[in-house]
Amino acid sequence: MTGIMLIAVATGGACGALVRYGVMLVMGAGIFGFAGPMATLTVNVCGSALMGLVAGGLSAGVMMPEPLRLFIAVGFLGALTTFSTFALDAGVLLQRQSNMAALAYIALSVALSLLAFAAAHMLANIVLDRGAS
């Protein structure tokens, strides 16, 4: 990966992270009164829509310089939400008529991520409780 590509990803990542934080602040102070789930839902849906626009444009033949593609798809959307990449992967599987593979990917992604979170959460509690004794 060349220097310009690394700069594109890093700059996009910084911008995406700042936008995600801004959405969290706005949602926390706004009409919903809490930042967590609504902010996450907002960035996941918006990020997925933006990834759809990028992927749709590229598949329709829109020319995009590699640094710009990396800035948007890997850096910005990667920091804004990894859900946009999940949506892209699932969408590609569905477009390829791999419905069973897409359904398995979706189900496994959600189920295993929740299980991994729960297991790691319990492990942290066990380790930290033992360390405090």
Domain ranges of the chain: 3-81, 97-133
Q: Who has greater pLDDT, 22 or 124?
A: 22
Residue 86 in tokens: 């999940």
Please report where in the chains the tokens 């930290």 appear, as a residue: 128
What are the pLDDT digits (tens) for 70-124? 999 999 999 998 787 788 889 889 998 889 999 999 999 999 988 988 888 888 8
The pLDDT, as a whole number, for residue 10 is 97
The pLDDT, as a whole number, for residue 123 is 86
Please name which of 11, 10, 25, 20 lies closest in space to residue 50, comparing C-alpha atoms.
20
What are the pLDDT digits (tens) for 38-71? 788 888 889 888 998 998 888 888 899 999 999 9
**Euclidean distance between CA atoms 64 and 81, whole angstroms:** 21
Tell me the average pLDDT of the chain: 86
Residue 106 in tokens: 């979706």
The pLDDT, as a whole number, for residue 87 is 87
Asked if pLDDT for residue 5 goes beyond 60, the answer is yes
Confidence (pTM):
0.72
The pLDDT, as a whole number, for residue 73 is 92
